[in-house]
């Protein structure tokens, strides 16, 4: 029952290339919209790729001191991941998209956020976009991971640690929910990419130098990875 939520009805064929490439490409382009940069420009703030962690994401935008800008960035990045997958699911009955096609759409929108074609391929770490993708693939999965993230983020004030813990739990929880194999493969790939994008945070966590929420923009780390 739980695993059926968010699953497309049409699963009996392999992806039809190049027809399915259109929705996958569209997902990548949606993911390439960097809300951190766009929102910062709208608020008259510095480019988030130039201060703090140099990561174009909500946590770094928060370092500017504008909470509204950070909230809009978080919402936009999460919404684009959710929208791309839900759009593919909605079109699935008419277009015959399989689980594999929808899984590739999920991966494409995430890769668009990491490597956005509109912003010289300099993207964020992908936590919010991954959350949107996972909510669309299975709301119970998204909700469970959100609880894990909130408990650690609020309790320890460490967004990176909370994100890594939720990442570690994603694939086992998806397996427990009996999600399709193609979905499991995409969730695993997203998890590997999230860990890779957080490699500088992992080093700081191990050394005890990782900063929490609310650090100021002026405290730049020249070694930080975007």
**Tens of each residue's pLDDT in the chain, 226 residues:** 444 444 544 444 555 566 689 999 999 999 999 999 999 999 999 999 888 878 898 888 988 888 999 999 999 999 999 999 999 999 999 888 999 999 999 999 999 999 999 998 989 999 999 999 999 999 999 999 999 999 988 887 788 888 899 999 999 999 999 999 999 999 999 999 999 998 888 888 888 777 665 454 444 443 333 3
Q: What is the pTM of this model?
A: 0.84
Check if the beta carbon of residue 20 is closer than 8 Å to that of residue 101: yes
Q: What is the length of the chain?
A: 226
At residue 215's C-alpha, the angle toward residues 209 and 218, to 5°, is 100
Question: Would you list the domain boundaries of the chain?
Answer: 2-207
């Amino acid at each position: 029952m739980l695993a059926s939520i968010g699953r497309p009805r049409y699963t009996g064929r392999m992806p039809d290339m190049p027809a399915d490439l259109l929705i996958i490409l569209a997902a990548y382009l949606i993911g390439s919209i960097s809300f951190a940069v766009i929102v910062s420009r709208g608020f008259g703030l510095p480019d988030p790729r130039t201060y703090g962690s140099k990561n174009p994401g909500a946590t770094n935008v928060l370092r500017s001191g504008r909470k509204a800008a950070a909230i809009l960035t978080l919402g936009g990045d999460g919404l684009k991941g959710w929208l791309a997958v839900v759009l593919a699911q909605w079109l699935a009955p008419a277009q015959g998209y399989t689980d594999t096609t929808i899984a590739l759409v999920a991966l494409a929108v995430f890769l668009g956020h990491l490597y956005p074609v509109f912003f010289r391929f300099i993207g964020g770490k992908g936590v919010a976009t991954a959350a949107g993708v996972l909510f669309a693939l299975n709301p119970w999965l998204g909700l469970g991971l959100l609880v894990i993230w909130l408990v650690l983020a609020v309790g320890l004030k460490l967004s990176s640690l909370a994100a890594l813990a939720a990442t570690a739990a994603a694939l086992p929880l998806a397996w427990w929910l009996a999600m399709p194999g193609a979905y499991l493969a995409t969730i695993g790939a997203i998890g590997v990419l999230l860990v890779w994008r957080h490699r500088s945070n992992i080093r700081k966590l191990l050394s005890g130098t990782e900063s929490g929420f609310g650090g100021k923009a002026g405290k730049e780390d020249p070694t930080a990875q975007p």
